[in-house]
Amino acid sequence: MDTAVRVDDRGVTIDRETIAIAVVDVVLLTGLIMFGQSHHGSLGGPLATLERVAPFLIGWFAMAVLAGLYTRASTRSLVETVRITALTWIAAANIGLALRASPYFEGGFHWTFSFVITGFGLLALVSWRFGYVAMRRS
């Protein structure tokens, strides 16, 4: 009897490569927000930085898990990587902005900040992940 077996590529496997990708994501987002803080002269201590970064990291990891961004399937093709990363960041940025505007996090935001963080985050995350997948495939 022949049976077809379907293997689900969306299974989460935590390996060194996945952890390294997540670390680069965190470093990029943290660096981006710290750069913005220093540019506006509001770079505070570690707790102030954590309070400004946390909403976006919460949004990023929540959406990344839902989108399957840390699975092998998300790095299979360049087009898929760009698509999943872009959609994940747009959703995550909105979550981060909503959290930052809430009374639970300090900082608030001006409406122009939403365009800046979404645009630069999109540029940073999509560029690095595109480059990573392109180098990995060659």
Q: What is the dihedral of CA 25, 73, 88, 52, to 10 degrees?
A: -20
pLDDT at 11: 52
pLDDT digits (tens, 9 = 90+) for 13-28: 578 888 999 999 999 9
Q: What is the DSSP letter of 31?
A: H
pLDDT at 10: 52
The answer to whether the CB of 86 falls within 8 A of the CB of 138 is no
pLDDT at 27: 96
Predicted structure pTM score = 0.84
pLDDT at 36: 85
Lowest-confidence segment of 9-13, 23-27, 62-66 by average pLDDT: 9-13
DSSP string, 51-86: HHHHHHHHHHHHHHHHHTTTSGGGGS-HHHHHHHHH
Give the 3-state secondary structure of residue 111.
helix
pLDDT at 119: 96
pLDDT at 6: 41
Mean pLDDT to the nearest integer, 76-84: 90
Give the 3-state secondary structure of residue 43.
coil
Check whether 57 has a pLDDT greater than 80.
yes
The answer to whether the CB of 59 falls within 8 A of the CB of 96 is yes
Beta strands, E only, the chain: none
Give the 3-state secondary structure of residue 97.
helix
- Euclidean distance between CA atoms 94 and 114, whole angstroms: 8
Residue 78 corresponds to which amino acid?
A: L
pLDDT digits (tens, 9 = 90+) for 105-115: 876 777 888 99
